[in-house]
């Protein structure tokens, strides 16, 4: 089975570049250059150096003994929460800003939902001395005040998206509109494995360092690179794409994607795209999309601001369709309880996105010999307010 | 029967005025009254927008009209019914313009067939990739539907030629690297761009859209193009209209004066 992108920019039936002509030159420039630039030795050296000395990679693979005992398996946590800025998002923003520099771009734009990708983008722009504008839904700005201020401290201009429902989807629309209006000097750093080709592939490659490291670390831990399970949460799907990437062709490794069920898959307040979505086109790619029967995009819901996106990356749509990845979901309450459990048992407060991945452990039929890697994509500092409001601890 | 758009553009001696508006805006059933008023006022072609929740190529005016139209209950199915009725009352060519996703959910081929049966003459689907179109080309041709693709000032000449080969009816030339929205006048760079387009002697006529808002920009566009498309400023005009017929007549008059 073919899991990588094909020459036309598709993963099976999904992907492509469904963009208005005004965006074509920008996307085409990227498409023709990204692989060539990423293969240049000086790019690879600068990327590797920054990941090591600035981001703090390799991130630890931690054997969570108390969690292992509880779930009757060998559970390892891939500690992306220990990355600089607190989540895996920076792996991608470092890669893209190095690429943008080599494309001769002077300005950077990005979208953000919860603010993690916005902070990761603002961080690398400060690092490289580049001008940065981040679009963020007005509603999200109100909900995620600390991240808005973090971006501002880093010198980024945060622009409220006032259209639609004023959340991540609308911030993405606004960033695309900005790019249409500034086609030559600006690079758009998309934060997930979504958007027109080559974004899903490019972001996956930048995040693939996660599974590359897991393989090496497992050899040291258990004498071989492959676990029985890799578990990761999926909003747009960038941390999952990175954690799955080097295992896609290892068919005996079970890959588990965990979506946000919100108040329940059938409650009308959910973000479980594979359960609720149908093929459609949004933000430049054909993928699974939550929408009405008339093709209007539905506003998703999750307690986690990083998972409430109405689509998933086209790679994940393909992995779902082919059955290579098993998609499960966790409700708000299941995720919050899992987050508290991890805090109490291992002393790690996870991001609520990542808590969804922990919550999936209870849904797997594990045996004592099973080796399970959970990608702990982010830390929970940004979510303290949500934990406090939820209050059941 | 000849396609109404092709007929219009091959017979007319004067520039063509094409007016874009969003279906179901300002009120759900205004789609028909606006079309009738536009014909009476002297417009040459009408483009009816299929509203979408996420119109990324549009500026604030058209975004707002999309949102309102959806709140009003507009759907692809209803729009096709409205067009059937409009077609029985006016002779102008009718173009439907919309983002791909609502069309995909309706079924792309079913949409083409039903649009043609409703009396639609042409389609503009801005986010349909050029490379995805050839699979539908035989069908749209057999249905006598023209399909217009967009070009922008950053589109290379080689690509313009490719777009020209795949387009029928007319090419939609976007006046600037921008989203939709009204502008007061075109710059000398834009005028030079229009002139360059004319010098390419494409097989399709081209209409200029984005930024047409007054008699000045309309006249500037028509200097080099077969005509111009006005959208945002028309929608601004009708959004608060108490009398669509009068306001539309005045709007068309003020543009073409």
pLDDT band of residue B183 (cuts 50, 70, 90) is confident
> Within an 8 Å CB–CB cutoff, is residue A300 touching chain B?
no
Token pair 């009718």 is at which residue?
B94
Min Cα–Cα distance to chain B from A49, Å: 36
Chain B CA closest to residue A287 = B101
φ/ψ of B208, rounded to 5, equals: -100, 130
Residues of B with CB under 8 A from a CB of A: 52-60, 63, 67, 70, 75-77, 99-106, 126-129, 131-132, 149-152, 154-156, 159, 163, 174, 177-179
Domain ranges of chain B: 16-147+215-256
Burial class (CB in 10 A: 0-12, 13-18, 19+), A224: exposed
Does the beta-carbon distance from B177 to A294 stay under 8 Å? no
Calpha distance A97→A90 (Å, rounded): 10
pTM summary value: 0.97
> Within an 8 Å CB–CB cutoff, is residue A252 touching chain B?
no
pLDDT of residue B184: 85
Q: Which two tokens stand for residue B210?
A: 């984005």
Calpha distance B213→B5 (Å, rounded): 23
Q: How far apart are the first and last CA of chain B?
A: 33
Nearest to B53 among A176, A182, A297 (CB): A297
Q: What is the pLDDT of residues A208-224, one digit of tens each?
A: 999 999 999 999 999 99
Does the beta-carbon distance from B103 to A295 stay under 8 Å? yes
Q: What is the largest CA-CA distance in chain B?
A: 47
Task: Indicate which residue of B47, B114, B121, B164 is catalytic.
Answer: B47
Hey, which residues does A262 pair with through a beta bridge? A331
Mean pLDDT of chain B: 96
- Does the structure show a pLDDT above 80 at B220? yes
Pairing state between β A285-289 and A278-282: antiparallel
Nearest to A18 among B129, B177, B178 (CB): B129
Q: Which two tokens stand for residue A42?
A: 């000086």
Pairing state between β B94-98 and A371-376: unpaired
Chain A CA closest to residue B73 = A294
Min Cα–Cα distance to chain A from B127, Å: 5
Q: Which two tokens stand for residue B89?
A: 């009352």
Pairing state between β B206-209 and B227-230: parallel
Measured torsion, CA atoms of residues A27, A29, A32, A36, in degrees rounded to the nearest 10? -120
Task: Indicate which residue of B58, B114, B121, B164 is catalytic.
Answer: B58
On chain A, the residues whose CB falls within 8 A of the CB of B63 are 163
Q: Which residue in A326, A45, A52, A34 sits closest to A190, CA to CA?
A: A34
Catalytic residues of A: 89, 111, 377
Q: Which two tokens stand for residue A294?
A: 């008339």
> Within an 8 Å CB–CB cutoff, is residue A22 touching chain B?
yes
Find which of A167, A289, A294 to mutate to test the B interface (most B CBs within 10 Å of its CB): A294
Q: Which two tokens stand for residue A291?
A: 């929408």
User: What residues contact residue A255 under an 8 Å CB cut-off, 6+ apart?
Assistant: A229, A230, A244, A247, A248, A319, A324, A325, A326
Nearest to B179 among A19, A177, A294 (CB): A177
Q: What is the largest CA-CA distance in chain A?
A: 57
Token pair 């004319």 is at which residue?
B198
φ/ψ of A175, rounded to 5, equals: -65, -40
ipTM value, please give it: 0.95
Q: Which residue in B48, B120, B110 sits closest to B84, CA to CA?
A: B120
CATH superfamily to which B16-147+215-256 belongs: Aldolase class I (3.20.20.70)
> Within an 8 Å CB–CB cutoff, is residue A183 touching chain B?
yes
Across B205-224, average pLDDT: 95
Does the beta-carbon distance from B177 to A183 stay under 8 Å? yes
What is the SS3 assignment for A66? helix
pLDDT of residue B179: 87
pLDDT digit of tens for each residue in chain A (393 aa)? 789 999 999 999 999 999 999 999 999 999 999 999 999 999 999 999 999 999 999 999 999 999 999 999 999 999 999 999 999 999 999 999 999 999 999 999 999 998 999 999 999 999 999 999 999 999 899 888 899 999 999 999 999 999 888 889 999 999 999 999 998 999 999 999 999 999 999 999 999 999 999 999 999 999 999 999 999 999 999 999 999 999 999 999 999 999 999 999 999 999 999 999 999 999 999 999 999 999 999 999 999 988 989 999 999 999 999 999 999 999 999 999 999 999 999 999 999 999 999 999 999 999 999 999 999 999 999 999 999 999 999
Q: Quick check: B180 and B210 in contact, CB under 8 A?
A: yes
Chain A CA closest to residue B64 = A163
Does the beta-carbon distance from B101 to A173 stay under 8 Å? no
Hey, which residues does A259 pair with through a beta bridge? A329
pLDDT of residue A230: 98
> Within an 8 Å CB–CB cutoff, is residue A146 touching chain B?
no
Range with the poorest average pLDDT among A54-68, A320-334, B106-120, B173-187: B173-187
Nearest to A173 among B54, B105, B155 (CB): B54
User: What residues contact residue B207 under an 8 Å CB cut-off, 6+ apart?
Assistant: B16, B18, B170, B171, B172, B173, B225, B226, B227, B228, B229
Nearest to A180 among B57, B76, B151 (CB): B57
**Beta-carbon contacts below 8 Å between A and B:** 107
On chain B, the residues whose CB falls within 8 A of the CB of A8 are 131
Hey, which residues does A188 pair with through a beta bridge? A109
Across B114-118, average pLDDT: 98
Q: What is the pLDDT of residues A90-128, one digit of tens each?
A: 999 999 999 999 999 999 999 999 899 999 999 999 999
Q: Quick check: A78 and A214 in contact, CB under 8 A?
A: yes
Instruction: Provide the percentage of residues in chain B whose pLDDT is more than 70.
Output: 100
- Does the structure show a pLDDT above 90 at B177? no
Calpha distance A286→B48 (Å, rounded): 25
Pairing state between β A14-15 and A186-189: unpaired
Q: Which residue in A54, A18, A65, A11 sits closest to A244, CA to CA?
A: A11
pLDDT of residue B30: 98
- Does the structure show a pLDDT above 80 at B1? no
Calpha distance B84→B193 (Å, rounded): 38
């Amino acid at each position: 089975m073919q899991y990588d992108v094909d020459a036309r920019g598709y993963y099976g039936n999904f992907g492509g570049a469904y963009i208005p002509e005004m965006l074509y030159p920008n996307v085409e420039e990227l498409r023709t250059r990204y692989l060539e630039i990423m293969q240049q030795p000086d790019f690879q050296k600068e990327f590797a150096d920054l990941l090591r000395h600035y981001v703090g990679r390799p991130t630890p693979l931690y054997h969570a003994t108390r969690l292992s005992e509880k779930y009757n398996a060998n559970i390892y946590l891939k500690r992306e929460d220990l990355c600089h800025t607190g989540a895996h998002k920076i792996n991608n923003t470092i890669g893209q800003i190095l690429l943008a520099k080599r494309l001769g771009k002077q300005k950077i734009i990005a979208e953000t939902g919860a603010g993690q990708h916005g902070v990761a983008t603002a961080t690398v722009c400060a690092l490289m001395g580049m001008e940065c504008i981040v679009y963020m839904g007005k509603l999200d700005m109100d909900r995620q005040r600390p991240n808005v201020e973090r971006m501002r401290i880093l010198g980024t201009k945060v622009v409220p998206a006032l259209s639609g429902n004023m959340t991540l989807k609308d911030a993405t629309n606004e960033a695309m509109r900005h790019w249409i209006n500034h086609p030559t000097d600006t690079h758009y750093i998309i934060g997930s494995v979504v958007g027109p080709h080559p974004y899903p592939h490019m972001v996956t490659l930048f995040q693939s360092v996660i599974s590359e490291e897991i393989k090496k670390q497992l050899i040291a831990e258990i004498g071989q690179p492959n676990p029985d399970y890799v578990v990761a949460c999926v909003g747009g799907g960038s941390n999952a794409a990175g954690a799955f990437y080097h295992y896609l062709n290892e068919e005996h490794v079970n890959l588990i994607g965990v979506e946000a069920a919100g108040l329940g898959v059938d409650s009308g307040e959910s973000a479980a795209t594979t359960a609720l979505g149908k093929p459609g086109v949004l933000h430049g790619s054909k993928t699974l999309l939550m929408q009405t029967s008339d093709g209007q995009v539905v506003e998703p819901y999750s307690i986690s601001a990083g998972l409430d996106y109405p689509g998933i990356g086209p790679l994940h749509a393909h992995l779902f369709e082919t059955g290579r990845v098993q998609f499960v979901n966790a409700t708000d309450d299941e995720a919050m309880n899992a987050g508290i459990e991890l805090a109490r048992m291992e002393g790690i407060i996870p991001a609520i996105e990542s808590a969804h991945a922990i919550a999936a452990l209870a849904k797997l039929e594990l045996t004592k010999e099973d080796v399970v890697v959970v990608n702990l994509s982010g830390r929970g500092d940004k979510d303290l307010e949500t934990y406090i409001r939820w209050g059941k601890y | 029967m000849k396609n109404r758009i092709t007929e219009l553009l091959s017979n007319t001696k004067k520039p063509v005025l094409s007016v874009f508006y969003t279906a179901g805006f300002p009120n759900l059933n205004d789609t028909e009254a606006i079309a009738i008023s536009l014909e009476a006022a002297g417009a040459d072609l009408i483009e009816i927008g299929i509203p979408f929740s996420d119109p990324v190529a549009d500026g604030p005016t058209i975004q707002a009209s999309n949102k309102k139209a959806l709140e009003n209950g507009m759907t692809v199915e209803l729009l096709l019914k409205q067009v059937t009725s409009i077609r029985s009352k006016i002779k102008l060519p009718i173009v439907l313009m919309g983002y791909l996703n609502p069309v995909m959910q309706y079924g792309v081929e079913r949409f083409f067939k039903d649009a043609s049966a409703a009396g639609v003459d042409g389609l503009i689907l801005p986010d349909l990739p050029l490379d995805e179109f050839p699979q539908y080309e035989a069908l749209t041709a057999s249905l006598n539907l023209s399909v217009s693709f967009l070009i922008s000032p950053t589109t290379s000449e080689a690509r313009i030629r490719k777009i020209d080969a795949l387009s029928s009816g007319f090419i939609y030339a976007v006046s600037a690297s921008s989203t939709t929205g009204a502008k007061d006048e075109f710059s000398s760079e834009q005028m030079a761009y229009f002139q360059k387009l004319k010098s390419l002697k494409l097989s399709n006529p081209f209409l200029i859209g984005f930024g047409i808002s007054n008699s000045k920009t309309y006249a500037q566009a028509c200097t080099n193009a077969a005509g111009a498309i006005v959208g945002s400023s028309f929608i601004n005009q009708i959004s608060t209209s108490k009398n669509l017929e009068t306001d539309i007549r005045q709007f068309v008059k003020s543009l073409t004066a």
